[in-house]
């Protein structure tokens, strides 16, 4: 898995799936259909044979939240909840008719998520609460026909503006990115805002659409047409620095733009700041058997604690036959230079830290290597029926810069529990394991428990052996939410927060939502002490921030989870200020 992809999966991932996940337990235009089809053109087979008469349906109406008008041609997708790494998860689709009505028919029993898309509106998920939070699941029993699963869609906001230089002239080829404050591993930082305008045109114009209501920050990054070409540049040249609306050098000086539903906001011009740009020169070196180093890709990524910095400030360049490279138009700062070579199934990579000053940097050396090998064994304990091949493993880098380096391969456990990762960078990783049930009980390396501290390979010189113990006897919490209106199901995000030092580790947190009956079930919990909260709205990850959580700490229900235990709890809705 490529590190940049792993990072996206994590941030957002975790928006749909946490280390322990919760469950909430036609004809004409509204007719449903299965998908996606396989190579034969047939829909995927159900995990178990279901008689046609045992299938059910889901139906409802899609309307505009403000006007109440029915929305035609809204596309709805009902996707089966994946219960494990080897579960394909079939899906069904339908579109709404002129009256906004939809029916998804012939649905196998199971638990499903439901989302809806419509041009001009923000994509919605059933039961979603708060920014970047996963929605609730719909539980469909045999022959059940679920009605009144309605959606009130929010018209998206649009931001229109121009990018200008210090003399008021338009600047083309500027990348515009929307950002907003969110939480990553419990730290509040800028995250993607869900919409990207691409590059400005020849008039310096940009148009950002598809924005959900909320507060945003605009970032403008100049992309010179020849920034990745060889250059004779040896001294600092004038260029445009990354700029935040309206003309700020840092996020602290940026103005926040508040988008409201359906708003067409114009006149948000960004005035680019000037900066010095320099070149860095270096060489990629490889093992003796590598005869040519032509076209090795070198990427330069800004180092920062903020997840977004690497995405908006990166430069790439291919090497010459001797491995020489020049990257120009670089603004001063601290970067990670990563080189990758791929040929005939062979992957080599290397990375190094580069300090770029006002006069440029020369003599950068990036050494290609195979990376490290991590071998291990998965051992299964408990009373459940599980094989090592039912478990998915992952190594997640603890720092953002690592995710741009290398291409880790392997890691799938075999029948005997053995697994091997190859091409692993020298870095510090969290070790994770996931299956349809159970929990990761421990990770051992050379007799030491690294379950919570992680796998530190920064000083490793050769293959590393680890042992994972996975228990099938996970804990489970079932519950309901008190309501003042009988017969109604309030929307809520169920959050399970560990007590003590475990609050520093993402693996012990768990998320869930109410299903259409007002119940929730959260599985795959490690034994221990927890607090259970039902928030009316919460951003993903906010509950990992001690400063945010302390306002609601006393409102959480304390609960002790035992190995293989099944606990029950009744919650009261907690209203947040989000």
pLDDT band at 19 (very low <50, low <70, confident <90, very high): very low
Residues linked to residue 158 through DSSP beta bridges, in sequence order: 264
- For 523-559, what is each residue's pLDDT tens digit? 999 999 999 999 988 888 889 989 999 999 999 999 9
pLDDT band at 145 (very low <50, low <70, confident <90, very high): very high
* Residue 368, CA distances (Å) to 89, 288, 300, 346, 407 in order: 40, 11, 15, 12, 13
User: Is a pLDDT exceeding 50 seen at residue 16?
Assistant: no
What is the per-residue burial (b if ≥16 Cβ within 10 Å, else e) of 202-234? eebbbebebbbebebbbbbbbeeeebbeebebe
- For 328-349, what is each residue's pLDDT tens digit? 878 888 888 888 887 776 778 8
Q: Which tokens belong to 54? A: 């045992």
User: Is a pLDDT exceeding 50 seen at residue 366?
Assistant: yes
Question: What's the pLDDT at 542?
Answer: 87
Rounded percentage of the chain residues whose pLDDT exceeds 90: 47
Question: What's the pLDDT at 478?
Answer: 95
Q: What is the full DSSP assignment across 177-239?
A: EEEEEEEETTEEEEEEEEEEEEE--TT-EEEEEEEPSEEEEEEEEE--TTTTS-----S-EEE
State the residue for tokens 């026909």.
145
Question: What's the pLDDT at 502?
Answer: 93
User: Is a pLDDT exceeding 70 seen at residue 303?
Assistant: yes
β-strands 56-64, 145-146 pairing: parallel
Contact 530, 565 (CB under 8 A): no
Where is pLDDT greater, at 382 or 27? 382
Question: What's the pLDDT at 410?
Answer: 85
β-strands 264-265, 157-164 pairing: parallel
Average pLDDT of 134-156?
A: 89
Contact 480, 102 (CB under 8 A): no
Average pLDDT of 340-367?
A: 85
User: Is a pLDDT exceeding 70 seen at residue 13?
Assistant: no
Contact 143, 105 (CB under 8 A): no
Average pLDDT of 559-578?
A: 92
Rounded percentage of the chain residues whose pLDDT exceeds 70: 82
Residue 272 DSSP class: P
User: Is a pLDDT exceeding 80 seen at residue 132?
Assistant: no
The whole-angstrom separation of Cα 44 and Cα 34 is 8
Where is pLDDT greater, at 576 or 136? 576
Average pLDDT of 29-41?
A: 37
- pTM for the whole structure: 0.74
Question: What's the pLDDT at 39?
Answer: 31
Question: What's the pLDDT at 473?
Answer: 96
Average pLDDT of 259-278?
A: 92
pLDDT band at 305 (very low <50, low <70, confident <90, very high): low
Question: What's the pLDDT at 537?
Answer: 83
Lowest mean pLDDT among 233-242, 273-282, 515-524: 233-242
pLDDT band at 232 (very low <50, low <70, confident <90, very high): very low
Average pLDDT of 395-420?
A: 78
- For 158-213, what is each residue's pLDDT tens digit? 999 999 999 999 999 999 989 888 777 667 777 777 666 678 999 999 999 989 88
Question: What's the pLDDT at 85?
Answer: 57
Where is pLDDT greater, at 150 or 288? 150
Strands in 314-463 per DSSP E: 314-318, 324-330, 333-343, 346-356, 361-367, 372-381, 392-397, 409-410, 418-424, 428-434, 439-445, 448-449, 455-456
User: Is a pLDDT exceeding 60 seen at residue 32?
Assistant: no
Q: Please report how many Cα atoms fall inside a 13 Å half-sphere around the Cα of residue 270, on the Cβ side.
A: 38
Lowest mean pLDDT among 82-96, 165-179, 259-273, 283-297: 82-96
- Which helix (H) or strand (E) segment holds residue 466: the answer is strand 464-471
CB atoms within 10 A of CB 276: 17
β-strands 56-64, 151-153 pairing: parallel
- For 435-449, what is each residue's pLDDT tens digit? 989 999 999 999 899
Question: What's the pLDDT at 429?
Answer: 92
Q: Which tokens belong to 82? A: 């994946």
Average pLDDT of 31-48?
A: 39
Question: What's the pLDDT at 336?
Answer: 85
Lowest mean pLDDT among 57-61, 258-262, 474-478: 258-262
Q: What average pLDDT does the structure give for the chain?
A: 82
CB atoms within 10 A of CB 365: 13
Question: What's the pLDDT at 459?
Answer: 87
């Amino acid at each position: 898995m490529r590190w940049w992809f792993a990072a996206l999966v994590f941030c957002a991932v975790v928006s749909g799936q946490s280390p322990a996940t919760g469950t909430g337990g036609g004809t004409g235009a509204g007719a449903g259909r299965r998908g996606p089809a396989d190579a034969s053109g047939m829909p995927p087979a159900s995990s178990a044979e279901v008689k046609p008469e045992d299938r059910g349906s889901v139906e409802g109406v899609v309307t505009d939240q403000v006007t109440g008008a029915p929305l035609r041609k809204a596309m709805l997708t009902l996707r089966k909840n994946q219960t494990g790494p080897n579960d394909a998860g079939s899906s069904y689709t339908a579109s709404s008719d002129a009256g906004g009505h939809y029916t998804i028919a012939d649905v196998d029993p199971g638990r499903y998520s439901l989302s809806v898309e419509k041009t001009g509106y923000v994509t919605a998920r059933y039961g979603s609460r708060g920014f970047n939070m996963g929605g609730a699941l719909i539980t469909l029993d045999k022959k059940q026909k679920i009605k009144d699963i309605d959606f009130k869609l929010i018209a998206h906001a649009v931001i229109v503006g121009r990018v200008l230089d210090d003399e008021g002239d338009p600047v083309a080829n500027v990348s515009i990115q929307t950002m907003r404050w969110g939480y990553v591993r419990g730290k509040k930082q800028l995250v993607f805002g869900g919409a990207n305008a691409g590059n400005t045109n020849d008039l310096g114009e940009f148009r950002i659409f598809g924005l959900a209501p909320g507060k945003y920050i605009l970032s403008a990054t100049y992309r010179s047409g020849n920034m990745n070409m060889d250059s004779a540049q040896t001294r600092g040249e004038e260029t445009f620095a990354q700029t935040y609306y309206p003309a700020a050098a840092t996020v602290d000086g940026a103005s926040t733009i508040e988008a409201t539903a359906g708003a067409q906001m114009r006149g948000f011009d960004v005035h680019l700041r000037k900066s010095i740009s320099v070149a860095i020169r270096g060489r990629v070196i490889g093992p003796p058997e590598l005869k040519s180093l032509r076209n090795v890709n070198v990427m330069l990524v800004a180092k920062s604690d903020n997840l977004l910095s690497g995405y908006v400030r990166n430069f790439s360049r291919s090497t010459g036959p001797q491995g020489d490279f020049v990257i120009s138009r670089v603004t001063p700062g601290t970067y990670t230079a990563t080189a990758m070579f791929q040929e005939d199934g062979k992957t080599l990579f290397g990375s190094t830290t580069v300090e770029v000053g006002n006069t440029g940097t020369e003599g950068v050396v990036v050494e290609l290597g195979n990376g490290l090998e991590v071998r291990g064994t998965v051992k299964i304990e408990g009373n459940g029926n599980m094989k090592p091949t039912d478990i998915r493993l992952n190594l997640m880098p603890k720092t953002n810069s690592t995710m741009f380096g290398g291409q880790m391969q392997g890691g799938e456990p075999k029948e005997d529990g053995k697994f091997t990762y190859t091409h692993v960078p020298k870095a510090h990783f969290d070790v994770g394991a996931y299956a349809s049930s159970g929990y990761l009980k421990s990770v051992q390396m050379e007799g030491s428990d690294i379950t919570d501290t992680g796998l530190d390979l920064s000083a490793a010189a050769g293959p590393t052996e680890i042992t994972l113990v996975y228990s099938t006897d996970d804990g489970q919490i079932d519950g309901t939410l008190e309501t003042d209106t009988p017969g109604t199901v309030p929307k809520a995000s169920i959050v399970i927060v560990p007590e003590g030092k475990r609050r520093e580790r993402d693996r012990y947190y768990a998320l869930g939502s109410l299903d259409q009956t007002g119940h929730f079930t959260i599985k795959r919990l490690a034994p221990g002490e927890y607090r259970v909260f039902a928030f009316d709205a919460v951003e993903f990850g906010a509950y990992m921030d001690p400063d945010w959580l302390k306002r609601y700490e006393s409102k959480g229900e304390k609960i002790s989870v035992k190995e293989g235990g099944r606990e029950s709890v009744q919650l009261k809705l907690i209203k947040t200020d989000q």
